[in-house]
Amino acid sequence: MVILGEKYKINIEDMGHNGEGIGRVDGFTVFIDGGIPGDYVLAEISTLKKNYAVGEIKEILDESEDRIDPLCSVASICGGCQIMHMDYAAQLKIKEKRVRENLQRIGKINTIVHPTIGMHNPYEYRNKAQFPVGVIDGKAIMGFYKRGSHDIVQTDNCNIQSPINTEVIESVRKYIDDNRISVYNEKTRKGLIRHVVTKIGFTTGEVMVVVITNGKKLPNQDELIELLKSKITGLKSVIHNVNDKNTNVIFGNETKTIYGVDKIVDYIGDLKFNISAHSFYQVNPIQTEVLYGKAMEYANLSGTENVFDIYCGIGTISLFVAKKAKRVWGVEVIKSAIEDAKENAKANNVKNADFYVGKAEVVIPKLYKEGKAADVVIVDPPRKGCEQSVLETIVSMNPKRVVYVSCNPATLARDLAYLEENGFTTKEVQPVDMFPHTAHVETVVLMSRVKVNTMF
């Protein structure tokens, strides 16, 4: 029996999908934030539900051999990273284990899961900072939100961000303080500066700074521009966006370029991308190249294939595919992403890619009915995985190969199980660490058609 408010000595045996430690008291599951497998802790039960409890560490009685001092001084409270207190090699191992166990438990799939491909330097990998602005003791602060709250954790030097982002944040803070500009308060809905977003082209060094305000004017904006110009070598673009709505959405509808260009440029491999303030772009470009490289290897294209890229975003994968295939059809629900995809195709002189906007579960069956059948299908769905009608259409289409890129091992396992029951077999499973020190895990899977459809 577990009692609320009681303290228990608990072995942390596993890690949950939010990076929390998992242990047991008399067989009853207890989630313990900050605990890692191998820790032996004294924890107080702070929440008790029917099937599980949540415990808070009061003392670490015996440390896991994977426990390290995190580089970042606010790692234990900041919501940006969840497992920075775990040795990086151990992080990679636990991600591999999570993928394997999900495939076995949910999908009943027993196959080799390759070791997670990690980063040589798992720090300073983010090309985009997106920080809310707050105030403490009359001074502006910026940083990630505290775990499970909207309190901002002041982060002077975020170790997963590019150091350029940190410099930008410092300059904007100085501008706010020197000019005594007010900062937005979510509760009262008063105050001006809401968010600061920084984007960097890692290969080009180009920098974009976006300031989002609750109000139409950015006072003394020339001072901000001059300050940024003097501090940030690659500064190419400063954008002012207005968002006066009561919402968690960061961007509002009004966007004005107040210095330089509307879009910065970056490359993934030899593909060029134009990045606007709004457009989606992978935040870890180094591992993106690794991930897409794996997806391309699994797709194994010879130049004769028709390929579907389902959930294509701004067409990143589609453009890689286009160079190696006869034709690629990209499908994506966000209209502006499809506009970017078309523009990116043009910028790269790609002529054999077509993009369709709409829900994949509607568009894919429709395109198939119109006669578009792919030899190879690539899917890269959001966390909830593929819709049933997408999977059913893939089965009817009967492609040679399916390459599944997933950000959620649980829905991946569910979808692979369906495809396994319907003529495909899982050949390769490769986790890739896109977000070191966080609990996220990305996986690329190759499935092959078991045999040619002989029903006709």
C-alpha to C-alpha distance for 149 and 114, rounded to whole angstroms: 36
Q: Would you count residue 382 as binding ligand SAH (CB under 6 A)? A: yes
Give 423's contacts (C-beta < 8 A, 6+ positions apart). Answer: 395, 398, 449, 450, 451, 453
Q: Would you count residue 335 as binding ligand SAH (CB under 6 A)? A: no
Whichever of 162 and 287 has its CB closer to ligand SAH, that residue is 287
143: nearest Cα among 135, 304, 350, 262: 135
How near is the Cβ of 381 to ligand SAH at its closest, in Å?
6
Whichever of 153 and 390 has its CB closer to ligand SAH, that residue is 390
- Give the one residue of 91, 161, 279, 316 binding ligand SAH; rule: CB under 6 A: 316
Q: Would you count residue 313 as binding ligand SAH (CB under 6 A)? A: yes
Exposed, middle or buried by CB within 10 Å (0-12, 13-18, 19+), for 314? Answer: buried
Phi, psi of 413 (to 5 degrees): -60, -45
C-alpha to C-alpha distance for 197 and 250, rounded to whole angstroms: 9
How near is the Cβ of 237 to ligand SAH at its closest, in Å?
21
- 407: annotated active-site residue: yes
Give 44's contacts (C-beta < 8 A, 6+ positions apart). Answer: 5, 6, 7, 55, 56, 58
Q: Would you count residue 312 as binding ligand SAH (CB under 6 A)? A: yes
Place of tokens 């500064």: 235
Whichever of 131 and 308 has its CB closer to ligand SAH, that residue is 308
Instruction: Specify the 3-state DSSP secondary structure of 154.
Output: coil
Q: Would you count residue 340 as binding ligand SAH (CB under 6 A)? A: no
How near is the Cβ of 204 to ligand SAH at its closest, in Å?
19
Amino acid at 259: Y
Whichever of 192 and 337 has its CB closer to ligand SAH, that residue is 337
Instruction: Specify the 3-state DSSP secondary structure of 1.
Output: coil
C-alpha to C-alpha distance for 317 and 315, rounded to whole angstroms: 6
Interface segment toward ligand SAH; rule CB under 6 A; list 31-39, 129-137, 171-179, 327-335: 327-335
Q: Would you count residue 317 as binding ligand SAH (CB under 6 A)? A: yes
Q: Would you count residue 33 as binding ligand SAH (CB under 6 A)? A: no
Whichever of 184 and 308 has its CB closer to ligand SAH, that residue is 308
Contact between 139 and 177 (Cβ < 8 Å): yes
Q: Say what angle helices 409-421 and 88-105 make with each other, to 10 degrees.
A: 40
Q: CA-based Rg of the chain, rounded to a whole angstrom?
A: 24
Place of tokens 């072995």: 11
C-alpha to C-alpha distance for 311 and 363, rounded to whole angstroms: 11
- Give the one residue of 116, 274, 282, 306 binding ligand SAH; rule: CB under 6 A: 282
132: nearest Cα among 186, 216, 196, 215: 196
Q: Would you count residue 107 as binding ligand SAH (CB under 6 A)? A: no
Active-site hit among 158, 312, 386, 407: 407
Q: How far is CA 163 from CA 1, 126, 205, 210, in A?
A: 49, 10, 12, 17
Q: Would you count residue 241 as binding ligand SAH (CB under 6 A)? A: no
How near is the Cβ of 292 to ligand SAH at its closest, in Å?
7
Q: Would you count residue 328 as binding ligand SAH (CB under 6 A)? A: no
107: nearest Cα among 445, 448, 450: 445
Whichever of 235 and 312 has its CB closer to ligand SAH, that residue is 312
Whichever of 172 and 444 has its CB closer to ligand SAH, that residue is 444
How near is the Cβ of 291 to ligand SAH at its closest, in Å?
8
Q: Would you count residue 334 as binding ligand SAH (CB under 6 A)? A: yes
Whichever of 319 and 419 has its CB closer to ligand SAH, that residue is 319
Residues between 352 and 381 that touch ligand SAH (CB under 6 A) = 359-361, 380-381
Please identify the residue of the shown chain whose CB is closest to the bound ligand SAH. Answer: 313
Contact between 309 and 356 (Cβ < 8 Å): no
C-alpha to C-alpha distance for 92 and 436, rounded to whole angstroms: 9
Which residues would be at the binding site for ligand SAH (CB under 6 A)? 282, 311-313, 316-317, 331-334, 337, 359-361, 380-382
**Which residues form the catalytic set?**
407
